[in-house]
């Protein structure tokens, strides 16, 4: 959005370099300023799983120091912290094990979609994948004590 299109004073936010930036746009001065009042800001977000690292890679997110744990393994003492050869194969996936089969079904379906004569097989594996996704969502929204969290959808 160009500044010429901002004609009202308002708070704005954007994401840059793994940070959320908040500013106040003053329409009369045409400037962005930092919020001057200490306010509590509640942020709702969807946490994406961390990616597996190969040997020598560093985590994408900031805030990791040498010796920190990443996907259940310890990072090296280097600066920046790196994944070592010995710990690379010990990483644990954040997706529960009972849903790995659904991911495999999606990969198989994508392979069968490449040839016209195997489209029917692709639809079979896509159905298995969709069933796994439904089971995963039920698992995610249900507390481990048997209770269920109700989430009300909202369109922006």
> Residues 56-82: pLDDT tens digits?
887 776 667 777 787 778 777 777 778
Residue burial 16-25, b: 16+ Cβ < 10 Å; e: rest = eeeeeeeeeb
Overall number of domains in the chain: 3
Same domain, 67 and 38: no
Same domain, 28 and 9: yes
32 contacts 9 by C-beta, under 8 angstroms: no
Average pLDDT, the chain: 80
79 contacts 66 by C-beta, under 8 angstroms: yes
Spell out, as residue ranges, where the chain has pLDDT lower than 70: 1-8, 18, 61-63, 143-151, 155-156
Which pLDDT belongs to residue 71?
Answer: 78
Which pLDDT belongs to residue 1?
Answer: 47
Same domain, 65 and 105: no
- Please indicate, yes or no, if residue 15 is contained in any of the structural domains: yes
The whole domain housing 70 covers 49-92
Closest by CA to 57, choosing from 73, 44, 46, 38, is 73
Same domain, 81 and 108: no
Same domain, 35 and 57: no
Same domain, 101 and 84: no
Same domain, 13 and 28: yes
Strand runs labelled E in the chain: 10-16, 19-26, 31-33, 69-70, 73-74
Which pLDDT belongs to residue 7?
Answer: 62
Same domain, 37 and 2: yes
Which pLDDT belongs to residue 17?
Answer: 74
């Amino acid at each position: 959005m160009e500044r010429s299109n901002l004609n009202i004073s308002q708070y704005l936010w954007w994401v840059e370099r793994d940070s959320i930036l908040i500013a106040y746009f003053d329409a009369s001065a045409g400037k962005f300023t930092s919020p001057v009042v200490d306010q509590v800001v509640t942020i709702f977000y969807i946490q994406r799983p961390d990616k597996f690292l190969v040997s020598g890679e560093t985590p994408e997110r900031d805030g990791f120091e040498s010796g920190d744990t990443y996907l259940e393994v310890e990072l090296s003492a280097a600066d920046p912290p790196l994944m070592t050869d010995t710990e690379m194969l010990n990483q644990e996936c954040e997706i529960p094990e009972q849903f790995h089969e659904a991911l495999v079904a999606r990969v198989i379906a994508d392979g069968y979609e490449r040839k016209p004569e195997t489209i029917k097989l692709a639809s079979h594996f896509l159905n298995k994948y969709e069933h796994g996704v439904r089971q995963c969502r039920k698992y995610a929204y249900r507390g481990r004590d048997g209770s269920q969290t109700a989430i009300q959808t909202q369109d922006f």
